[in-house]
Chain A
Amino acid sequence: MRYLPLTDKNRQDMLKTIGASNVDDLFVQVPKKAFIDGLANLPLHKGELEVERILSAYANENHAAPDGPFFLGAGCYYHHVPATADHIIQRSEFLTAYTPYQPEIAQGTLQVVYEFQTMIAMLTGQEIANASLYDGATAMTESALMAMRITRRNGLVLKGVHHPHYLEVLHSYKRNFEDMHIDENITDKTACVIVQYPDFHGNIHDLAALRAECDEHGAKLIVVVNEIIALGLLPAPDMADIVCGEAQSIGLALSYGGPHLGFLACRSAYVRQVPGRLCGETVDADGKRSFVLTLSTREQHIRREKATSNICTNQGLCALAFSVHMALLGEAGFKRLAQLNHEITIDLAEALGKVKNVTVVNDTFFNEFLIRLENPPHSAKEIVSQLAKKGIIGGFPVSQNELLLNATEMTTQDDITQLCEALTAILSA
């Protein structure tokens, strides 16, 4: 018997019910250029050995982070991930992408989720954290929606420079949350003030000043952390109402930009407005410590369209990798890691400051900062291409003459020397 769950008639009936003429109508939001007409020039079959050769040749065209000096951050950071993390996440007891749908059977998984939440709450100086979200961008938007629900206001104020991808995600949501508006100034209609810490250009903003401004108008303060290792050196943003962001730096490789690990922490008074899953500690029938998914009544499978958000899962495996790596580092190790990042970045800033026609723009930074190129012979983008030809990944161009550069514990003094020499050569050509 063939298993055909849907007949053509079923499909037509469903389309008719929702008022769509064909299946493509369901994808109108996807940009036209993202569609392809069939798979071009793919042979029908090849032997396994041939496929391996072809794909290896493609792979060899990549320039991976460890292949040379690497100064690209911009929201995605190159750090050392201990082999232990990869080993543990591949154990079959753990290897699942999400929280299981019959979660209480998997006590080990729930214990890890609970430990992840505890770590995030401690790092951010908040009382509670959820079981993770897809990435920093969705975490930021979910936090804004949370603040709108808590305050019953619709205005957002963005302070400092934000990651462009995060803003794109915010605007995607805004199209369907018609009441949401983004304003210049904080007023009595402001639901929240959102600031990145450090911001997209590496600047560290004065949170106490923003807190005071928020309090004047009854607005919530949302702090977005792009590079979670910064919290090893910077004071925890405990005066924020919600702290959210991206935790890729701990436990996760760059992997061409994903999967990432969003987090969201806040004061416990807001727990019923938190999106996504939450794990809690309890005791079982025998009085033994155990873990459950809790406050699920906020969620989609129970609240349906009234749910706090349409996110009803988490990044289980990435949260596990984070938790393993963080447990290996410990508090002292995490602070030392942050220290190493900052020290090598100071070295990078000092070295670049000595390059002719280069100015370090930032007054403050953690492990990433902006440089301005005076009268460059090419655009910043072209300069990055020329550096790449020399085997150096030289940062992220944010304008015609500005580059965003990052250094981490992976950066060596030799990497810095190579970058400065190459940049000197390009700028004086």
Chain B
Amino acid sequence: MSTDLKYTKDHEWLKIEDGNVAVIGITEFAQDALGDLVYVELPEIGSKIAKGADLAVVESVKTAAEVYSPVTGEVVAVNDELPDNPELIKKSLEAGWIAKVKITDEADMAELMDDAAYQDYLKSLD
């Protein structure tokens, strides 16, 4: 994964674009754990979301998992391709992002892991 990404302990990734918009997706670790994806439930554009609240639901053949918002803000875009083609999540960051959230509290960013810290965190899970 790319070095300008930030990560959560719940295996979401986040990439900043246009200064304060967080593009959010789920990491390869989460993708592998879920297995074959069958559906993605997206949030509504314009909805306000708190850090740690449910942002989306990713459903696989064996389970359904909440995607938690790593930051507080407002949903400004969703990846409309996903409900019809959920496996896109695994293709690339560009194709598989879930939602974009305009950040209202910059302090949230400080609590996220960088790539090295996330790799260490993954090792600690083994």
Count: A-B pairs, CB below 8 Å: 19
Interface SS of chain A:
helix
Q: B66 touches which one: A152, A272, A298, A306 (CB < 8 A)?
A: A306
B41 touches A272 (CB 8 A): yes
Report yes or no: A302 in contact with B44, Cβ–Cβ below 8 A.
no
Chain B, interface SS category? strand
Q: How many A residues face the partner with a CB closer than 8 A?
A: 7
Q: Does B118 contact A (CB under 8 A)?
A: no
Q: Residue A303 at the B interface, CB < 8 A?
A: yes
Assess whether A297 is interfacial by the CB under 8 Å rule.
yes
User: Which residues 273-301 of A have a CB within 8 angstroms of B?
Assistant: 297-298
Shortest beta-carbon distance from B74 to chain A in Å: 15
Task: Mark out the residues of chain A between 138 and 162 whose CB falls within 8 Å of any chain B CB in the assembled complex.
Answer: 152
CB distance from A147 to the nearest CB of B (A): 16
* Residues of chain A contacted by B41 (CB below 8 angstroms): 272
Residues of B within 8 A of A306 (CB): 54, 57, 64, 66
Contact A302 B39 (CB under 8 A): no
Judging by beta carbons under 8 Å apart, are A272 and B39 in contact? yes
B29 to chain A: closest CB distance in Å? Answer: 20
Residues of chain A with a CB closer than 8 A to B57's CB: 306
Within B5-28, which residues are at the interface with A (CB < 8 Å)?
none
> Closest approach, in angstroms, between the C-beta of A269 and any C-beta of chain B?
11
Contacts of B64 in A (CB 8 A): 297-298, 302-303, 306
Instruction: Output the nearest chain B residue to A299 by Cβ-Cβ distance.
Output: B64
Q: Tell me the A311-356 residues at the B interface (CB within 8 Å).
A: none
Bound Cα distance from A303 to B66, whole angstroms: 10
Chain B contacts of A152 at CB under 8 A? Answer: 44
User: Is B114 an interface residue when CB atoms closer than 8 A count as contact?
Assistant: no
B119 at interface (Cβ–Cβ under 8 A)? no
Q: Which residues from chain A contact B60 at a C-beta distance below 8 Å? A: 297
Among B28-64, those with CB < 8 Å from A are 38-39, 41, 44, 54, 57, 59-60, 62-64
Interface string of B64-99 (1 = CB under 8 A from A): 101000000000000000000000000000000000
Q: Is the CB of A297 within 8 A of B66?
A: no
Cα A152 to Cα B60 in complex, Å, equals: 24
Q: How far is the CA of A298 from the CA of B59 in the complex (A)?
A: 9
State in angstroms the CA–CA spacing of A303 and B62 once bound together.
11
Question: 1/0 contact trace for A239-268 toward B, CB 8 Å?
Answer: 000000000000000000000000000000
A84 to chain B, nearest CB (A): 39
> A298 vs B66: C-alpha distance in the bound complex, in angstroms?
12
Closest chain B residue to A271, Cβ basis: B39
Question: Given known contacts A152-B44, A272-B39, A272-B41, is B63 in contact with A302 (CB within 8 Å)?
Answer: yes
A303 vs B57: C-alpha distance when bound (angstroms): 11
Closest Cβ of chain B to A176, distance in Å, is: 20
Distance (Å) between the CB of B50 and the closest chain A CB? 16
- Cβ contacts under 8 Å, A302 to chain B: 62-64
Min CB–CB distance A31 → chain B (angstroms): 36
Q: Quick one: given A272-B39, A306-B66, are A297 and B59 in contact (CB under 8 Å)?
A: yes
Distance to closest chain A CB from B62 (angstroms):
8
Contact A297 B63 (CB under 8 A): yes
Interface centre among A152, A272, A298 (most CB of B within 10 A): A272
How far, in angstroms, from A350 to B62 measured CA to CA in the complex? 59
Q: Which residue of A lies closest to B39 (CB)?
A: A272
Question: In the complex, A152→B39 CA distance in Å?
Answer: 19
Shortest beta-carbon distance from A244 to chain B in Å: 23
**A272→B38 CA distance, assembly (Å):** 12
Task: Give the residues in chain B near A272, CB-CB below 8 Å.
Answer: 39, 41, 59
Residue pairs across A and B with Cβ atoms less than 8 A apart, 14 shown, are A152-B44, A272-B39, A272-B41, A272-B59, A297-B38, A297-B60, A297-B62, A298-B64, A302-B62, A302-B64, A306-B54, A306-B57, A306-B64, A306-B66
Closest 3 CB pairs of A and B: A297-B64, A297-B59, A302-B63
Question: Which residues from chain A sit less than 8 Å from chain B, CB to CB?
Answer: 152, 272, 297-298, 302-303, 306
> What would 17 more interface pairs be, CB under 8 Å, given A297-B60, A306-B57?
A152-B44, A272-B39, A272-B41, A272-B59, A297-B38, A297-B59, A297-B62, A297-B63, A297-B64, A298-B64, A302-B62, A302-B63, A302-B64, A303-B64, A306-B54, A306-B64, A306-B66
